[in-house]
Amino acid sequence: MSDTTVTMPLEEFDSIRTASSEFKTLRRKLSECTKADLSEYKEELKRLDIFGDGMSNEDIDKFVLDASSKIKIIVNKSKAIEIFLEYLCFGKSGDYGYFDEMSKDEIKNINIVFE
């Protein structure tokens, strides 16, 4: 690998460094509000280990695909809403402006919908 030098204004470098730091903070916060529950998935895979002898590759692929539906991503609703409001709505106008005016009780009533 060769050494490469990049020349840029200090303000631009500081902006990139700040954005990188903010991104790391956001990733940390997202990881703190989610967790994966693989217990049922692992149980299904154990069943495959026990009973899978003689199954075709196609059947094994289907079994693993079906087993993947047992994986649960658990999201802490209140933390997810906090992150949404902090990073996505701050200072925005239009529909997002409504969030700035909501009480804490109203914010707790927000639904999170995954598509």
CA distance 79 to 32: 8
pTM of the model: 0.63
Those residues whose C-beta lies under 8 Å from the C-beta of residue 36, and which sit 6 or more positions away, are 71, 72, 73, 74
69-104 tens-digit pLDDT: 999 999 999 899 888 888 776 666 667 677 777 888
> What's the confidence (pLDDT) of residue 71?
97
Tokens of 38: 């693989």
Main-chain phi, psi angles of 24, to 5 degrees:
-60, -40
